[in-house]
Structure formats: structure tokens, C-alpha cells
Amino acid sequence: MGPITYSLCQKPVIGLMMWATTLCTFPPLIDDEPFFIKEKKPSISIPFEVPVEKNYSLKMNFIFPTTEARLQDEFVGTRYNQYCQDNIKYNGIPELDRKGLGQPMTFKIVIQKKDGSIVFEETVESLCVTSHRRNIKTRTITRIPLLEGEYLAKITSLDNQNNFKDVNTSIRLDAGRWLK
């Protein structure tokens, strides 16, 4: 989807018709790229292109061997609440409110333009499951405002993750909210 199509999707009448005919579908910029979280300090570099100026959501999928394994997991988290938004640190959450939020996972995110200049650099502590289906849980790591262009995402887990014996993980960059 390009900028013109995207702006038309935001219009009241024509946008509704375009959504109904799936013309407003926005594919992920990074689509389930394997990320081997079980390795020591895993890191990945992924080139991608941004067609529309927006905020994008960097997410991690946790693929469990079965739905039962997903339901039994407490490390990724079992619920979402007000503490899951933005970049709130786990230690800053009252102890009684931590139940079900999962364990914190720290990531360093660097987004570079094609020329190597850094447009986004942040160390974030990811908490909370933000969605789930069948045998998959998803966490939103952070939101990234990006302009149109070509980029390189460098994502590094700063924690050793020993809790994921039979769990595979992948990275995804989805369309988010309009950039204001």
C-alpha cells in the first residue's frame, strides 16, 4: 500500500468501501522473521522498506508446540493491563499487579536508514502478552515512528532466555497508528 491509497483509506465514505474490499490491507514490513531467543545474546539484522509514514509496532511471536503448552506458560504472560503500555519497568509495577504480566525481556532496538544514520535507538523492557491464538502468544516490544524509506532493523535480546525449550520465536513489524 502506498501513501495515496493509505490516505484514501482514512476518508469516511471511500475508506469504508476500500476497507470492505480489502484494498486497505497493510502487510507487515517484517513478517515473522525467525529470532533464536534461546541463543546467548541473540541478534538479528533485517532490511525493510516503509511505504507510508506511520508508527509501526515491533512484535515478538512465541510459537509453542501445542495450545496446551501456550495455556500453561506464565513466562510470556497471561494478561494485559495498564502497566503494559509504553516503556514501564517491571520493578516500577506494584507487586500485586505483576501477576500474569509475564517476566520482563530486555531488547536493544536500532533502526538505521540505508545510509547508516540511526533514526531510532532504544533499550526496552518488554512485558505482557498482547494477543494470542491457538499455540501462539505475541508481545509488543515497542512502537517505532518511521518515515517513508529503506531501513535496517537491528534487534538484540539483552537477556539469556532459558525458559523456551520447545518454543520458537519470530520478529514482526506491523502497521500501527497514524504518525502525527
Q: How far apart are CA 42 and CA 161, in angstroms?
A: 10
Q: pLDDT tens digits, residue range 78-110?
A: 888 887 776 678 888 888 888 888 889 999 999
Whether 54 contacts 146, CB under 8 Å: yes
Tell me phi and psi for residue 107, to 5 degrees: -130, 145
Work out the percent of the chain whose per-residue pLDDT is above 90.
48
C-alpha distances in Å from residue 145, one per residue of 86, 106, 123, 170: 14, 20, 15, 21
Q: How far apart are CA 166 and CA 118, in angstroms?
A: 35
- Residues found in the chain: 180
Give me the residue spans of the domains in the chain. 28-178
CB 175: neighbour CB atoms within 10 A? Answer: 19
CB 178: neighbour CB atoms within 10 A? Answer: 12
Whether 170 contacts 62, CB under 8 Å: no
Say which range, 100-114, 138-152, 155-169, has the weakest mean pLDDT: 155-169
Class of domain 28-178: mainly beta
Whether 27 contacts 97, CB under 8 Å: no
Q: What does the pLDDT read at residue 178?
A: 47
Round the average pLDDT of the chain to a whole number and report it: 85
Handedness of CA 63, 138, 176, 119 (dihedral sign): negative
